Amino acid sequence: MKALTLLPALLALFALRATAAPQDEFPRDADGHPDFSGVWQSLNTAHWNLEPHVAAPGGVPALGAQFAVAPGLGVVVGDRIPYKPEALAQRDANFANRLTADPETNCYLGGVPRSTYMPYPLQIFQSSDIVSIAYQYATGLRRIAIGGTDEAPLDSWMGWSNAKWEGDTLIVEVTGFNGQTWLDRAGNFASATAKVTERYTPLSPNHIQYEATIEDPSVYTEAWSIRMPLYRIVDDNYRLLEFKCEPFAEEKLYGHLRLPAE
């Protein structure tokens, strides 16, 4: 009977530890901030479509079930992206032409936030004033200045990132996009005037809560957000490998320039 009496108290203690301990156990840097250094990856279907979606064929009938779209619950807070009518029409046109129009088919950089949830790992390197993120896809790289206030010197795929700490959350503001990025393979997009605010918050020693809020009045009726966990890769001797996809896109981009065979 004593064991049965103690059981509820023990369960309550374990539950409290599970909810209260993780942030205390997260690695920290010399300044006491969470240290996000490590290799991380998302585990969802956001790269196919940020919004909730059902399973669907991949767009190339000859491939059958290969590259079919897996169903997903979505990562958009509130489920739907608040497009303006004309922007929604552009999203639908993007989707209709996705096999040739998606920047990913040309091995262009994934942009922000898309690079975070593409089906490839990323590695974070953190110091007191700089966070660098290396992405396996197309060997993308970001340099994030903590406390930085500089504006983008030019527009680019990955934009320009400045960060600050708010408690245990690293907040990164990203601007200076080139306006050519898509947000997923479903044709969701933002323009060159978009502002993306990312939030990285420790959940446990091996989990980060990733959030991104996108503001773009030329495309959306209001700001909207995505949210997902990132998982630390803990495999022994794991390391980021090169995925230089440029050679895979050469035929698509430059095949029409080939001299005719004599």
Contact call for residues 104 and 87 (beta carbons, < 8 A): no
pTM, two decimals, is 0.88
Domains of the chain: 25-56+69-255 (2.40.128.20)
- What gap in Å lies between CA 49 and CA 23, rounded to an integer? 30
Nearest Cα neighbor of 163 from 257, 33, 262, 67 is: 33
DSSP string for 162-213: EEEEETTEEEEEEE-B-S--BSSTT--B--TT-EEEEEEEEEETTEEEEEEE
Amino acid residing at 12: A
pLDDT in tens, the chain (262 residues): 444 455 555 445 444 444 444 556 999 999 999 999 999 999 999 999 999 999 999 889 999 999 899 999 999 999 999 999 999 999 999 999 999 999 999 999 999 999 999 999 999 999 999 999 999 999 999 999 999 999 999 999 999 999 999 999 999 999 999 999 999 999 999 999 999 999 999 999 999 999 999 999 999 999 999 999 999 999 999 999 999 999 999 999 998 888 777 6
Residue-wise pLDDT for 49-103, tens only, equals: 999 999 999 889 999 999 899 999 999 999 999 999 999 999 999 999 999 999 9
- What gap in Å lies between CA 98 and CA 114, rounded to an integer? 16
